[in-house]
Chain A
């Protein structure tokens, strides 16, 4: 079997001829595998795929996304998840099974403008995506700086096993929540750290396809391997501060804050779905 390793393709390019399985962003036409996006073509045991380098976010089931509450009906919230469909968060998901539209005030829990971390539970192209926030690490985001990047850059920003995001978080003493839809929320102890993290993320977004990106980011953040080690310890101490900062009024949402801090110190990759 012919192996394809990182080949640059544009729509219409024939990647390979033969009986291969089309996986992602490719189509099969008369025994030819044709790319449908600009990206990097690769073959594996399962088939041929193209990793896209541009494009808007298309929802997928089990993606963790960050969305903004836009509006609410009597039974659900409408959430803007930066995609071509607006998502719905059912009220029962937040209030439980005994939710009653007459009794419970939905705006008190989530008001328009609030940001939430949520998981997409259903989406099948015939209906708008449905969200849930009743899981570990999900729920309302109480504070932080908002940032939007292209969703195709998210894997690169996280890096191999969370290496890139870990580097940025440790060097800037910030915590970065990442949604698969390209929306980020940065929290940090000081503004300088947040500003620096902004810069680093922008660098990753602009130069996602270039080589040696981790080194470039490290240069920008002025970290050597040694410092990274010591800062790891610092940031875990800082993380506890954030937990204490969380607003006690948020009751169920407190959980989200605690968890997100834990995750980010130990394994940021858990923020992204599997």
Chain B
């Protein structure tokens, strides 16, 4: 059925990667001035910008929960993000991704710390190239950390899938369309919990296990990049001793 050659005789994929390679990932933090936290991610050819607002007052007020914070997510693809213009109105797919994204982020956030408040996460896809929900989740969790929301862990996300009967990491757009399975996974690397697992395609049990293992391995690689981006942004220049004592003393007062 697969007419396109997705893996050549040297084991290289259409963009020159081997089966265990991620695309190049670059995360920039604090790209939006007016948001409480923001991040932009370049995940291969994906370009995504995330803004986090909050915790802030809930409007409309009836949405507020008395015991915890409401997390609201919006995943949106810009009309110019795909080859043919995408209607800017939220599609069925976007509504679904917004929901799964919220559910992937919720377990990491300590929502009970902010009762009666709301945290808004806006994920805007500027350029799409397959795996944008994973890239969006990874960027959103970094933006949430940047906003100073209490979190049990960062959320990393990565997809794995099956192309030409071979399990590979980080499916891109062509592989998603021509390949036979795509499995996005979001993962809490320190708590070792899966917060998102979707599967589009058919895998047998051993393939499924291999695919999941590979995706989790990919998540851990993504985590290192997220971590590096955060450390670089906040601790770029080293603090010598004594200076941060001032900070501490004042906090105590």
Write the residues of chain A forming the contact surface with B, with a CB cutoff of 8 angstroms: 5-6, 8, 10-14, 24-25, 27, 29, 34, 36-38, 40, 42, 51-56, 58, 84-86, 125-126, 152, 154-156, 158-160, 163, 209-213, 269, 272-274
24 contacts between A and B (CB under 8 A): A8-B231, A10-B154, A11-B154, A12-B188, A12-B191, A24-B251, A29-B191, A34-B190, A36-B110, A36-B152, A38-B146, A40-B247, A51-B248, A56-B147, A84-B54, A84-B55, A84-B117, A85-B116, A155-B250, A156-B247, A159-B250, A209-B234, A209-B235, A273-B253
B100-115 interface (Cβ within 8 A of A): 108, 110, 114-115
Contacts of B239 in A (CB 8 A): 6, 40, 209-211
What is the CA–CA distance of A135 and B55 in the complex, to the nearest angstrom?
30
Which of A12, A53, A56, A159 meets B189, CB within 8 Å? A12
CB pair B235–A11 under 8 Å, yes or no, is no
Please judge, given known A-B contacts A11-B151, A125-B116, A272-B253, whether A53 and B234 are in contact too, CB under 8 Å. Answer: yes
Contacts of A210 in B (CB 8 A): 237, 239
Instruction: Give the contact-size bracket for chain B.
Output: 35 or more
Q: In terms of DSSP, what is the predominant structure of the interface of chain A?
A: loop
CB pair A269–B253 under 8 Å, yes or no, is yes
CB pair A126–B241 under 8 Å, yes or no, is no
Write the residues of chain B forming the contact surface with A, with a CB cutoff of 8 angstroms: 36-37, 54-57, 66, 108, 110, 114-117, 145-154, 188-191, 227, 230-231, 234-235, 237-241, 243-251, 253
What is the CA–CA distance of A122 and B239 in the complex, to the nearest angstrom?
36
Contacts of B190 in A (CB 8 A): 12-14, 34
Contacts of A269 in B (CB 8 A): 253
Contacts of A154 in B (CB 8 A): 250
CB pair A38–B145 under 8 Å, yes or no, is yes
